[in-house]
Amino acid sequence: MVMIRVFIALALCGSFSGLLPQKKAVYVTASFLGSNRLYLENLTREDIRVFEGDQPREVQYFAGGEVPVAYGVLFDRELLPQPDEDPRIDELRISASTAARNVAYQLIDNCLGPQAGWTATYDDQGMNIALDFIQDASRIKDSIERMSGGRVTRESWLFGPLFNSVEKLGQRHEKRRILVVFLNTLDIKTSGKMKPLKNLLSASNVEVFFAGFAPRSTVARGLLPAQSEVALRELADVTAGAAYFTNMEGIEGLGRRMANQIRTFYTIGFESDSPGEQPARLKIECTRPGVKVKTHPVVPILQ
Query: Residues 223, 256: one domain?
Result: yes
**pLDDT(52) > 80:** yes
Query: Residues 34, 99: one domain?
Result: no
State which amino acid sits at residue 196: P
pLDDT digits (tens, 9 = 90+) for 85-96: 665 655 556 777
Predicted confidence at residue 160, as pLDDT, reads 93
Helix (H) or strand (E) holding 244: strand 242-245
Q: Which is more confident, 250 or 206?
A: 206
Q: Per the domain annotation, does 43 fall within a domain?
A: yes
Query: Residues 287, 181: one domain?
Result: no
Q: Per the domain annotation, does 14 fall within a domain?
A: no
Confidence band of 302 (pLDDT split at 50, 70, 90)? very low
Predicted confidence at residue 246, as pLDDT, reads 75
Cα torsion for 10, 12, 14, 19, to the nearest 10°? -160
Query: Residues 113, 241: one domain?
Result: yes
Query: Residues 27, 131: one domain?
Result: no
Q: Per the domain annotation, does 7 fall within a domain?
A: no
Distance of alpha carbon 71 from alpha carbon 165, whole angstroms: 10
Predicted confidence at residue 180, as pLDDT, reads 96
For strand 242-245 and strand 207-212, is the pairing parallel, antiparallel, or unpaired? parallel
Q: Look at residues 298, 208, 300 and name the one whose alpha carbon lies nearest to residue 262.
A: 208
Q: Per the domain annotation, does 1 fall within a domain?
A: no
Q: Per the domain annotation, does 259 fall within a domain?
A: yes
Question: 194: domain range?
Answer: 69-263
Query: Residues 109, 243: one domain?
Result: yes
Query: Residues 98, 234: one domain?
Result: yes
CATH of the domain at 166: 3.40.50.410
pLDDT digits (tens, 9 = 90+) for 191-242: 999 999 999 888 888 889 999 887 655 555 667 778 888 999 999 988 888 8
Q: Per the domain annotation, does 302 fall within a domain?
A: no
Question: Of 29-43, 47-61, 261-275, which has the strongest mean pLDDT?
Answer: 47-61
Give mean pLDDT, residues 280-296: 85
Give mean pLDDT, residues 168-178: 88
Report the chain's mean pLDDT, rounded to a whole number. 80
Question: How many domains in the chain?
Answer: 2
Q: Per the domain annotation, does 166 fall within a domain?
A: yes
Query: Residues 179, 98: one domain?
Result: yes
Predicted confidence at residue 140, as pLDDT, reads 95
Query: Residues 76, 190: one domain?
Result: yes
Distance of alpha carbon 55 from alpha carbon 217, whole angstroms: 51
Give mean pLDDT, residues 6-25: 48
Query: Residues 79, 113: one domain?
Result: yes
Q: Per the domain annotation, does 32 fall within a domain?
A: yes
Query: Residues 95, 232: one domain?
Result: yes
Give mean pLDDT, residues 101-110: 89
Query: Residues 254, 117: one domain?
Result: yes
Q: How many residues does the chain have?
A: 303
Predicted confidence at residue 210, as pLDDT, reads 95
